[in-house]
Amino acid sequence: MATTTPTTTIMDTAKAFFEACETGAGWDGCSAYCHADAGFSAQAGALAEVTTLQGYADWMQGATHLMPDARYEVKSFALDPERNNVCVYAVFFGTHTGEGGPVPPTGKAMSTDYVYAMDFEDGKIRHLTKIWNDGIALQQVGWA
């Protein structure tokens, strides 16, 4: 059974982590909200090799460098106190104008829906699952 944590602490931690991760703070900016060995999973080919939350936070940092105008819009933030988790549904926007990545800058934009399901233990994120259709997102920016 999961260790319970006060509701406001979990929500505050989830919001702080989400902001840091989505703005490209990398693991340095996200680690305070997570267990050092926090796991990550996603059924998305672009993230197939990423198995730790540290790896994902750094991957997002790279994505924001490729899309300097990256931003997000939160659609829903939800707490499930019985299961000690928080889910956030958002839309990520960005235009590939930054150097690096799989191809030279395409100038193409993406608008992609995704969900984070964050499992907590002792007030910190133990595991994050990302639900995302990477195929459509990568097509939008001309990477697939």
CATH code of residue 18: 3.10.450.50
Count structural domains, the chain. Answer: 1
DSSP count for the chain of H helices, then E strands: 4, 5
User: Residue 1 falls within a domain, yes or no?
Assistant: no
- The structure's pTM equals 0.92
Q: Is residue 132 part of a domain?
A: yes
Domain ranges, residue 101: 7-140
User: What is the rounded distance in angstroms from the CA atom of residue 142 to the CA atom of residue 30?
Assistant: 29
Average pLDDT (109-120) is 98
pLDDT in tens, 29-84: 999 999 999 999 999 999 999 999 999 999 999 999 999 999 999 999 999 999 99
Establish if 2 belongs to a structural domain.
no
**In this structure, is residue 81 part of a structural domain?**
yes
Over the stretch 20-33, which tens digit does the pLDDT of each residue have? 999 999 999 999 99
